[in-house]
Structure 1
């Protein structure tokens, strides 16, 4: 269930969703996750 339209998803190189983060998550905190999957 997506509570709000600012929910963030990390998608891997194959187009699969691998992580989900809530609307209050600061995008700058997602850099390590992005580096892990990309």
Structure 2
């Protein structure tokens, strides 16, 4: 059972980290583009 759950947990954790990283990077990217203009 554990061997089935483990990859799913890894994918879910990766997705959470990805969402957090995106929510952090998007405003920074928006600021940098607005400064360049």
Tell me: higher relative CO, structure 1 or 2? Use CA pairs within 8 A at least 6 residues apart. Answer: 1
- Judging by fraction of residues, say which structure has more helix: 2
TM-score where L is the length of structure 1: 0.25
TM-score scaled to structure 2, two decimals? Answer: 0.26
Between Structure 1 and Structure 2, the one with more strand by share is 1
